[in-house]
Amino acid sequence: MTTNPPVTDWATDYDIFDPEFVRDPYPTYDELRRECPVAHTDRWGGSWLPTRYEDVVAIAHDVDTYSSREILVTPSPTAAYAGANQQVKAPPISSDPPEHRWARRLILPIFAPGAVAKYEQGTRDLCNSLIDGFIADGRADAAAGYAQQIPVRVIAAMLGVGTERADEFTSWVRGVLEVGLTDPEARVAARTNIIGFFREQIADRRANPRDDDLITEMLAAEVDGEPVPEHHILGTCNLMLVAGVDTTWSAIGSSMWHLATHPEDRRRLVAEPDLWPTAIEELLRAYSPVTMARIVDHDTEYAGCPMHEGDRVLMAFPAANRDPEVFENPDDVILDRQHNRHVAFGSGIHRCAGSNLARLELRVALQTWLDRIPEFELEDPDTVTWAGGQVRGPRACPVVFPAG
């Protein structure tokens, strides 16, 4: 993934794209938490990395000092964004107060528990049809052939755009959040495709409003008596695709990997369905996929670290979620863990707006699989591959099971 020299000192020179770190970041997070809880690197544009729960949460709440105007973990190729798309950001995740308040309010209703419940049956049908496609083979790729196929289609339904272009959407999302983090040209190309696509969709909804899709609702909404600007609607559509897709497939994929490698947990979930609510939270905690960035708004000092205006801070929610000060036996997955104030969905004003939908998708994907394929295991642990950087999860996870 990277041709950078290997890391010799993680406290002063960490590399979040280091292949071994991507495969298993937890020992490094543990060491940093103990020895240098706010690490620094000059790599990839330079950044700070808080790893303790308390620090990650404190920084997430200090929105005056740590701005969300850029949330990617490597610098944006700014010049290349010039032109028609320059104004298009990703509100509300890229908004600071006061804009953040109304930008979030605009989308919250569609993510309320009652509102997302209507996607449950469609998600279950989708999972069943994916399983129909491979159950007779006795093998499948639980990441590429299952997890990755689900969220993109659920979001397409929510946005009222067809699912026939799901593969294209997936490649655009990876272009922004995965490949694009270290390849600015790929990032710009993916962004241009996403924005171009939604520009067409918005023009279509202006001409042909629909009953209940998010784009039509945003076009009808007002802020301070004015219609919501088009660049804002474009940015929010962009966010829905980028934030709702590989975050969720990574959580589903990591959970599938866990169940494939932990038969006792798999069997417990089948035998004790009451465990689902705590099990979902525990899988989210243990395998939190998302790390977001902040930009330091003005010179400051945090825990003795001199942070300068424009410095990037990586919000290591996955590291916070394994902090032994907050979670007993943090590296163990305990399906009935009772105290679990995890920050897989972030903390503070930017806490994930889509968390109800994400939980629903994760639960339905795992339940449907276990209903039909209760016994499965990795085909060969060496063929599992992981992607990391901004969103960590398996990209290939071949499993075998008794053919159905």
Binding positions for ligand HEM, rule: CB under 6 A: 60, 68, 71, 92-93, 104, 155, 239-240, 243-244, 247-248, 251, 289-290, 292, 315, 317, 344-346, 350, 352-354, 357-358
**H or E stretch covering 315:** strand 312-315
Element (H, E) at 32: helix 26-35
- Judged by beta carbon, residue 85 or residue 255, the one nearer ligand HEM is 255
Q: How far is the CB of 8 from ligand HEM (least distance, A)?
A: 30
Minimum separation from the CB atom of position 5 to ligand HEM (A): 30
CA angle 184, 66, 33 (to 5 degrees): 90
| For ligand HEM, the closer CB: 289 or 394 | 289
Closer Cβ to ligand HEM, 16 or 155, answer by number? 155
Instruction: Closer to ligand HEM by CB, 252 or 260: give it.
Output: 252
CB of 110 vs ligand HEM, minimal distance in Å: 9
Please report how close the Cβ of residue 357 comes to ligand HEM at its closest, in angstroms.
Answer: 5
Tell me the closest approach of the beta carbon of residue 366 to ligand HEM, in angstroms: 12
**Chain residue at closest Cβ approach to ligand HEM:** 354
Nearer to ligand HEM, 72 or 188 (CB): 72
| Sign of the alpha-carbon torsion through 157, 159, 164, 167 | negative
- Alpha carbon distance 289, 50 (integer Å): 16
Beta carbon nearer to ligand HEM, 236 or 401 = 236
* CA–CA dist 89, 256 (Å, integer): 33
Rounded to a whole number of angstroms, the minimum distance from the CB of residue 146 to ligand HEM is 15
Q: How far is CA 88 from CA 102, 195, 231, in A?
A: 17, 8, 5
> For the stretch 278-309, what's the b/e string if a residue is b when 16 or more beta carbons lie within 10 angstroms of its beta carbon?
ebbbbbbbbbbbbbbbbbbbeebebeebebee
Residue 377 CB coordination number (10 Å): 13
